[in-house]
Amino acid sequence: MPVSGVSYIPILIFLVIACLFPVVSLLLARAVRPSSYNRVKMEPYECGVESEGEPRQRYSIHYYVIAVLFVVFDVETVFLFPWAVKYRALGLFGFVEMLIFLAILVVGYLYAWKKGALEWV
C-alpha cells in the first residue's frame, strides 16, 4: 500500500490533462465554426415567445432546506468512512459507538421528517 505523496502525482497529471482537454476542444471549435450575429438569435430561449421578466426570481424555500439537510448528512458520512475502514479492529466498542452516533443522526432525521421538511408539495 503506497503511503507517500508520490502516488498522487499521476492524479495531478490527469487533472492537468483533463483541464487542458475541454479548453483545447473549445479553442479548436472556435477556429473552425461559423459565427454570425443576430439580435433575435441571441435572446434567451422561451419557446419562441418574447421573454418577459427576470429569470433570476425568488424560488422555493425547499431547495434551501434540502441544502442544509445535505450538509448535516454528508458530514456524517465523512465521519463514517475512517470508522468503516478500521471497523474490524474496533470490534464491539466501535459498533456500539457508531450506533450512538447514528442514533443522534436518526433523531435529527425523524425531526426533519415530522416537521415536513422532506415533503415537497
Report the interface residues with another protein, using CB under 8 A. 1-3, 6-11, 13-15, 17-19, 21-23, 25-26, 28-30, 32-36, 39, 41-47, 51, 55-56, 59, 62-63, 66-67, 69-70, 73-74, 77-78, 80-81, 84-88, 91-92, 95, 98-99, 102, 105-106, 109, 113, 118, 120-121
Q: Which is nearer to another protein, 26 or 111 (CB)?
A: 26
Determine the straight-line distance between the first and last CA of the chain, rounded to whole angstroms.
50
CB 108 to another protein: min, Å: 12
- One-letter amino acid at 29 equals A
Q: Are 98 and 80 in contact (CB under 8 A)?
A: yes
CB 116 to another protein: min, Å: 12
CB 111 to another protein: min, Å: 13
- The radius of gyration of the chain from alpha carbons, rounded to an integer in Å, stands at 25
CB 74 to another protein: min, Å: 6
The three cell numbers of residue 82 are: 475512517
Of 114, 115, 84, which is closest to residue 97 (Cα–Cα)?
Answer: 84
d(CA 18, CA 12): 10
